[in-house]
Amino acid sequence: MRKIFLGFAVLMLAAVVVQFYLAAAGAFDTAPNDEAFDAHAIGGTVLLLLAVLATIVAAVAKAGGRLIGMTAGIAGLVLLQSLIRVLADALNDSSDTSTTAGTLVFGLHALNGLAIMGLTARVLADARRLVASPQQPSVAA
């Protein structure tokens, strides 16, 4: 089960890297609009699903509370990404024109993305150590 968790950690980090690529591709589109970021939005949903499943696998693998919590933290930060977008959109004009406040809040989306990348890299490193460490025999009750 630990190797399965490691596989999920690898997939999550790959998904985060893809997310940065898709965000850049949308931002540098010839006419960046909401449709230019559709693939990025779908990627976020995939990352959220991976993080939730990885958290479950970590718990089943008895990866330890800290590692389970960090993995769940990835899911929480991904949810925060959506909240940042909703809040930034709410601060924009009714004509869907960006305001200074909306732009400043949306800037947090990139910073949170960096936090997701850092936490995911840490989870991957810890998952690798977990797989490399000898398993403790379970004590029957």
Cβ distance 61 to 4 under 8 Å?
yes
100-132 and 2-27 are packed helices; what angle lies between their axes, rounded to 10 degrees? 150
Per-residue pLDDT in tens (0 to 9) along the chain, 141 residues: 999 999 999 999 999 999 999 999 888 887 767 788 889 999 999 999 999 999 999 999 999 999 999 999 999 999 999 999 999 988 988 776 788 888 899 899 999 999 999 999 999 999 999 999 877 645 444
> What is the C-alpha separation between 134 and 32, in angstroms, rounded?
50
Secondary structure (DSSP) of 36-87: GGHHHHHHHHHHHHHHHHHHHHHHHTT--HHHHHHHHHHHHHHHHHHHHHHH
Domain segments of the chain: what residues? 2-132
